[in-house]
Amino acid sequence: MTGWTMAEKNMLAVAAAAAPSVHNTRPWTLELGGERRVAEIYELLDRALPRHDPLGRDRLISCGAALEHVRVAANVLGNMTTTELFPDVTQSGLAGRVTATGKAEPSDADLAAHGAMSRRRSHRGPFRRTRVSTGLTARILAANRTDGVELRVVGDADAEAVANVLGHSALVLRNDGAYQRELNAWTSSVRDPLPGDGVSAATRRTATLPWVGLVRATTAVPDLPTLVERLRAELLVLVQTPDDGPADHMRAGMAVEAVWLAAVGAGLAGAVLTQPFQVRESRAGLIEALNLNGFPQILLRLGFPRHHSEER
């Protein structure tokens, strides 16, 4: 097979750029093969967030989301593909590779996911009170094709445990001066910053959990009963992996992005929360409270949007 054409390279690059990332740091670079139809995601260590993400977990989750976008775009271009994580340990920073192995018609799911990429945004506001049906939930979750990732819907019985984690983590992060300085450094002055330019300053005006993923010094933390009530009104999906290594973080990013794109295609809005799991005791407490058999990586909140309060 010949290498990528210029038009194909552009489509792959646009797809990668549309992926979500922690604090909109875009901590990856895309390398496209010359004579080979290969697309590689390299982790950018200089986009580190030492206070928010000291172990680089969220950075690799972001790289996983970008790899999922590249995989979908390559499939839409009419390719059969294989996806590998950390395929060559001699290549510093190489996190994932998509290789075209032959020709194939794109699936309806990949076409829909590709179409949703440009519409996907992080919805920081409240959802409509309309509940997501069980059938729609099942169809959305079925978009996850990544082995080694378990998706668990947070039921009403789980809501109090999750609310405790969100509330405690918010208080810790709200009072962490170093964390707040880092977040401010990655807050753009424009409403819709480009990928890699940080989060929108508009998030400063969104002040109540769980309708924000960003905890600022001014964030108002609701009391536990209020937070539980809000959580029960949303579709919350807990993304967990059996282990907690770099490959697990990449897989979590791939899985959550596949589900998020499927949700957007179905008319839903969403946002991911990873900050609470950066507080060690919160993460450990959730594992114990929900009797998890793995490691929680991401909380994806979904619902029908009420208005356009969005950012990358």
Question: Contacts from 93-96 at CB under 8 Å and sequence distance 24+?
Answer: 93/42, 93/43, 93/44, 93/45, 94/40, 94/41, 94/42, 94/43, 95/28, 95/41, 95/42, 95/43, 95/60, 95/63, 95/64, 95/67, 95/246, 95/250, 96/40, 96/41, 96/63, 96/64, 96/67, 96/250
Q: What is the pLDDT of residues 205-252, one digit of tens each?
A: 665 666 666 888 888 888 999 999 999 999 999 999 999 999 999 999
The CA distance from 300 to 104, in Å, is 31
pTM value is 0.93
Residue 168 confidence class, pLDDT cut points 50, 70, 90: very high
CATH class, domain 6-117, is alpha beta
Give the pLDDT confidence score for residue 311 in this predicted structure: 44
Domain extent listing, the chain: 6-117, 122-311
Give the pLDDT confidence score for residue 210 in this predicted structure: 64
CB 228 within 8 A of CB 274: no
CATH 3.40.109.10 is the classification of domain 122-311: yes
3-state class of 71 per DSSP?
helix
3-state class of 230 per DSSP?
helix
Q: What is the pLDDT of residues 102-157, one digit of tens each?
A: 999 999 999 999 999 999 999 888 899 899 999 999 999 999 999 999 999 999 99
Give the pLDDT confidence score for residue 207 in this predicted structure: 57
Residues of the chain with pLDDT > 90: what percent?
80
